[in-house]
Amino acid sequence: MRAALTPERYVPAGTLLFLLVLPFLLPNPFYVHIVVMMFTFVILGGAWNILSGYAGQLSLGHAAFFGTGAYVSMLLVNHYGTSPWITLWIGGFAALLLSLPVGFICFRLQGPYFTIATIGLAETLRLLVLHFREITNGAQGLTVPFKGNSPWQMQFDSKLPYYYIALVLAIAVLWITRCMEGVRLGHYLVAIGQNQEAAEALGINSAQAKRRALALSAFLTGVGGVFYAQYTYVIHPDSAFGLGHSIQIAMVAIMGGVGTVLGPALGAIIMEFFIQSTQIVFAGQYPGLELMVYGGLLVAVILWRPRGVFPWFDRLYRGLIARLPSPGRAA
């Protein structure tokens, strides 16, 4: 029995196919880089979304998990020559371990208190990383020496392999989010985000659910950090662990639509498109302009579209699906 050829199936399949061949359609590697950055934002924003989007625990400290993944990976690669394919897991796991005390401290708090605590913890980590410069090389950051094309070391001459790695990771994060939506934890997180006390009264162990969501979120963010470090070959404490970075990560999901699977993907596209266009138009002449407009975008979204672009996209998508031919559907 053949699977029905309905728009609900072939549109996503077509999109995937498009993404697979996209690098060959783009004029030069710079554009491939842009898409890789988009995928990176999907990974980070999607990971953030799992805890903060669904359960409403708004973290502004996720840079800590990103930085942990990146630093752990780089240190292992530099000191022990460990393969980044392995440090992807170790870095993610290190971030997960970090999330345990973070959750213990922060989940006692609600609303803005929680957010402030996450900011404080990320900042503390940043300061500590700067302080212990014998290990971390302080403010100068860490670099991975480029060894030429060495797949086992996740180093490639061209951008293409990075593109596909990032694509796989991005799809993985979205797919994990979708799976989570469909199991009990996903529902429980939404309940907690709506009203934690009421959720508890229905037998929901909110502390446990939040810890699990945070662990997953931290792990994926750490993985994103490892990839990014491998892709850019360099990492600095201020950009990796900084509050600005945490804000950026959060904005991806907020602009796209928190608590939805595709929200982070939409947000990543908008974010990266926007960053690139300001850079092209102003060619770096006005430092601060880009971020300033960024902040303006966030304020605008909050004022007029607090649910992000997802509702609009959803309507558009459903309209499209309804209009497309459906050769496989039973009459």
- Near other proteins by CB under 8 A: residue from 19, 160, 172, 243: 243
- Cα dihedral across residues 173, 311, 243, 111: positive or negative: negative
Using DSSP, state whether 54 is helix, strand or coil. coil
The set of residues, in sequence order, having a beta carbon less than 8 Å from that of 113 and lying 6+ positions away, is: none
Which listed range, 4-12, 87-95, 142-150, 295-303, lies at the site for other proteins (CB under 8 A)? Answer: 295-303
Using DSSP, state whether 38 is helix, strand or coil. helix
Alpha helices for 49-83 (secondary structure H):
63-80
Which listed range, 70-78, 183-191, 220-228, 267-275, lies at the site for other proteins (CB under 8 A)? Answer: 183-191
Using DSSP, state whether 80 is helix, strand or coil. helix
Residue 119 binds to other proteins (criterion: CB under 8 A): yes
| Nearer of residues 114 and 227 to other proteins, judged by Cβ | 114
By the 10 Å C-beta count (0-12 exposed, 13-18 middle, 19+ buried), 308 is classed as buried
Q: How far is the CB of 281 from other proteins (least distance, A)?
A: 14
Alpha helices for 81-110 (secondary structure H):
84-106
Residue 200 binds to other proteins (criterion: CB under 8 A): yes
- Cα 93 to Cα 86: distance, rounded to the nearest angstrom: 11
> What x-and-dash track marks residues 152-181 binding other proteins by CB under 8 A?
------------------------------
By the 10 Å C-beta count (0-12 exposed, 13-18 middle, 19+ buried), 190 is classed as middle
Q: How far is the CB of 260 from other proteins (least distance, A)?
A: 12
* Count of CB atoms situated within 10 Å of the CB of 203: 7
Residue 188 binds to other proteins (criterion: CB under 8 A): yes
Which listed range, 8-16, 126-134, 144-152, 220-228, lies at the site for other proteins (CB under 8 A)? Answer: 126-134
Q: Are strands 142-143 and 234-235 parallel, antiparallel or unpaired?
A: antiparallel
Residues numbered 2-61 forming contacts with other proteins, rule: CB under 8 A: 56, 58, 60
Question: Angle at the Cα of 269 (from 265 to 273), degrees rounded to 5?
Answer: 170
Which listed range, 64-72, 220-228, 246-254, 316-324, lies at the site for other proteins (CB under 8 A)? Answer: 246-254
Residue 127 binds to other proteins (criterion: CB under 8 A): yes
- Near other proteins by CB under 8 A: residue from 5, 100, 128, 316: 128
- Near other proteins by CB under 8 A: residue from 75, 85, 298, 326: 298
- Cα 192 to Cα 189: distance, rounded to the nearest angstrom: 5
Q: How far is the CB of 303 from other proteins (least distance, A)?
A: 6
Q: Which of 283, 57, 66 is nearest to 191 (CA)?
A: 57
Q: How far is the CB of 112 from other proteins (least distance, A)?
A: 4
User: What residues line the site for other proteins (CB under 8 A)?
Assistant: 56, 58, 60, 105, 108-109, 111-113, 115-117, 119-121, 123-124, 127-128, 130-131, 182-184, 187-188, 190-191, 194-195, 197-206, 243-244, 247, 250-251, 254, 258, 286-292, 294-299, 302-303, 306
